[in-house]
Structure 1
Amino acid sequence: MMPQFLVVMIKELKEALRDKRTLNIMLMMVFMYPGLVGFMLHNQIEKATKTERTGIDIVMIGAAQAPNLVGYLRQKSVNITERDAMSEADIGKLLGEKKMAAVLKLGDKFGEYYGELRPAPMELWFDSAVEKQSQRRELEAMLRDYGNGIASARLLAHGVSPATLSPFALQRYDTADSLTRSNTRIGFFLGMFFVPVCIFGLAAAIDSTAGERERRSLEVLISQPMRAIDLVAGKWLAAAALAAIGLICELSVAHAVLKYLPLEEIGISWRVDLPTLALVIVAAMPLCLMVGALQVAMAMNSRTFKEAQATAGIVTFIPMLPVLIVPALELNTQNWMYAVPLLSNQTMFQALATGQSLGVLPYVLACALPLLLAAAAVAFAARRMGSEKYVLGV
């Protein structure tokens, strides 16, 4: 004979899956976060490769005074449009059209000063409100390198080695591989993948408790020869199952999106395999149980369906705070992070994705507090369910 709490669980799951609102919320969350992360990373890839494909568009005033500079910039994929003298208003109007990354203006005495080995006047005009700052910085780096090359040639012409101006020869070696760099840079996104866990089963949790209480169908259930704990456990496991199903689907979609994107273009990669992804999902099951229990307890502690909906935002928002704050503080990974619900899943996912081997302690910490909170919430909800005052709304 099937246990009573499983009968309740199956009944709640069938009702939830027949509810279009619940299905629409789940589908939206399954695709929204992976789609958002994919869109943001796609934009970064587009910006990183756009200059290489199309070059940097600039206007150069007085280009005839520096033919060598013009040739150097064009070799660096800089598209130069030569113009005669322009007023400040005309330059501002040109940059306001958002077609040019900058205007490079050579002074009237550029050639004279350059021939006299004096600093030649040069002006770089740009609009900081235009999304071409990366191209402008690349242009500045090109001008700086060109200037350093000229300075070195002048020193050699006077019998002075350019090495005199560089007392140190600093070489940089980054020992981090692309996998470590990638998951350090997208560590924040990894945590955001677990946020929808608080939403997947929320509608079912509220409808099966506060909703049934308002519809008076809860009285029929409580009149059956069934313990209050079995009734609460069935509703709790149904909400947790929806959260787990949604999380599995969402992480699978996110994995497919990150594997599809050419992340190598921005110096990162995504090499999380399916066994690692499965381990992350298993480690997140206590989180699903905790969220389902808290939502059921919260809804049962609300007098009306609308009150349960109003307080649902608190249950959804509070676990998000550590996920938002800790990455912003750039803290090193510590053991206490594995004890904080939701933050523990983010930290664990990031560690596993970077190839780190986790001991037993992180898994124990990640499971302990969620399971304790789930047990406490279920006990509270069972006590409420056993109260006639609650069921009858007295």
Structure 2
Amino acid sequence: MTSRALVVLFKELREALRDKRALSLLALFVVMYPAIIGFTLNRIIDKAGSPEREGIQLTVVGSEYAPTLMAQLKQKNVIVTPHAPLDEQATTDLLRTAKTVAVLKIDAKFVENYAAMRPARVELWYDSAIDNGRKIDEVENVLREYTSRIAQARLLAHGVSPVTLVPVTVQKYDTGTSASRSAMIIGAMLGSFFIPAFIFCLSTAVDTTAGERERRSLEVLMAQPVSPAQLVFGKLGAATVLSAVGLTLELVIAHAILKWLPLEEIGLSWRLTTADLTFAILASLPLCLFAAAFEIALAMNAKSFKEAQSTLSFAILVPMLPLILIPMLDLQTATWMYAVPVLSNMTLLRELSKGADIGLLHYTLTAAGSLVVALLCYAFAAVRMKSEKYVLAV
């Protein structure tokens, strides 16, 4: 029985490898998801470090009225550009050019109000439609620090300790590690790594069932000394191999990209070891079997090739459900999650990247959950293959 099923498997694999469209789709999704995540994180890293590397361009009107403030801005890597007085329209036009982050206007009565200990007015103009939020925050922090120092100096001049204004001091201690922070941020992206497992085998699952039936080549296979269970096993094996190869390559590429990125610059890290990745891939192989069996069962239940394609295009939404429901329900990691296909793989990879203690039970549940559903789908497909109505497309 095994040898005949393997003959069918190798036959389906050879046909799948001849399909340039299927191979192109496989290569595309192997690279696409890791590349998207790598590009996104790289952009976040670049934006986080851009103020330190490039400096913050700030146009100041009336800079001569506050030389101490100007000096403090320059100490914080703010590049001050003095400018003549600007009206509202001219200020708006200058900000739209994106040559300056903001315009700081210091009133001509600044020195007079400062000396009289009255509020000395300054205006900070910026365009919120331009993505300069981090740089604007840096400028505002300097202004708050400057205001605080002046207030403290005035209190001391009147014989009052500045500590009087701080009756309670809150000391913060963050016990979160860079790995746990990474799991929270990158964890939202990890689920997308397992969606392609359903895409890698899509073309093969449809072609070896609905496609062969329309081409009438399925009747030729049924005439051979091969049982329906063996036929389904061979077709399922071919689809599973493509899905497993694609998922493995995708996870390896994603792991290499996350290791290469300087995540430490944004307070994150990717500490997944090669051993952890290997165990995660092995635990995810039953998911590939489930994806192939699920799609073959659906395709065999369709009356035509086009109907099978339409049905399976909606079936790909199944692995997306955990990505949608978990954030909405705000669920905490629990043991039952490791028994739900797709969700279990996403949870396992997130907890491994967090450095959590993953025991044999979690790996077993992750593999068993997908395996049980895959066997049910295989049993349905084997029974369906015995039906003459299915083979003859009646």
TM tier, shorter chain?
A: over 0.9
**Counterpart position of 1:19:** 19
**More displaced 10-residue stretch of structure 1: 79-88 or 317-326:** 317-326
The correspondence of residues 298-337 of structure 1 with structure 2, limited to 5 A, is 298-337=298-337
CA contact (8 A) 1:197 1:288 kept: yes
**Counterpart position of 2:246:** 246
Amino acid at match of 1:86: L
Give identity over the alignment, percent: 50
Matched, 1:123 2:123: yes
- Determine the C-alpha separation between the residues in 1 that align with 2:320 and 2:2: 37
Shift of 1:141: 1.1
CA contact (8 A) 1:58 1:102 kept: yes
Mark the runs of 5 or more structure 2 residues left unpaired by the alignment: none
Shift of 1:152: 0.9
**More displaced 10-residue stretch of structure 1: 308-317 or 324-333:** 324-333
The correspondence of residues 93-242 of structure 1 with structure 2, limited to 5 A, is 93-242=93-242
Shift of 1:362: 2.4
CA contact (8 A) 1:63 1:70 kept: yes
Change (3 A) 1:329 1:111: farther
**More displaced 10-residue stretch of structure 1: 171-180 or 63-72:** 171-180
Superposed CA offset, 1:248-285 (max 9, x none): 10011001111111111111111211110000001111
**Counterpart position of 1:355:** 355
Superposed CA offset, 1:214-248 (max 9, x none): 11111100111111000001111111111110011
CA contact (8 A) 1:56 1:101 kept: yes
CA contact (8 A) 1:201 1:292 kept: yes
- Determine the C-alpha separation between the residues in 2 that align with 1:326 and 1:141: 36
Superposed CA offset, 1:274-324 (max 9, x none): 110000001111111111100111111111111111111221112211123
- Determine the C-alpha separation between the residues in 2 that align with 1:307 and 1:167: 71
Q: What root-mean-square deviation, in Å, do the aligned CA atoms of Structure 1 and Structure 2 show? A: 1.3
- Determine the C-alpha separation between the residues in 1 that align with 2:102 and 2:286: 54
Q: TM-score, normalised by structure 1?
A: 0.97
- Determine the C-alpha separation between the residues in 1 that align with 2:309 and 2:280: 30
Count of aligned pairs: 394
Shift of 1:2: 5.4
CA contact (8 A) 2:338 2:369 kept: no
- Determine the C-alpha separation between the residues in 2 that align with 1:370 and 1:255: 23
- Determine the C-alpha separation between the residues in 2 that align with 1:210 and 1:114: 82
CA contact (8 A) 1:323 1:342 kept: no
Superposed CA offset, 1:158-181 (max 9, x none): 111111111122211112222222
Shift of 1:328: 4.9
Shift of 1:361: 3.3
Shift of 1:24: 0.5
Mark the runs of 5 or more structure 1 residues left unpaired by the alignment: none
CA contact (8 A) 2:194 2:319 kept: no
Amino acid at match of 2:77: S
Secondary structure of 2:316's counterpart equals helix
- Determine the C-alpha separation between the residues in 2 that align with 1:4 and 1:118: 93
Q: TM-score, normalised by structure 2?
A: 0.97
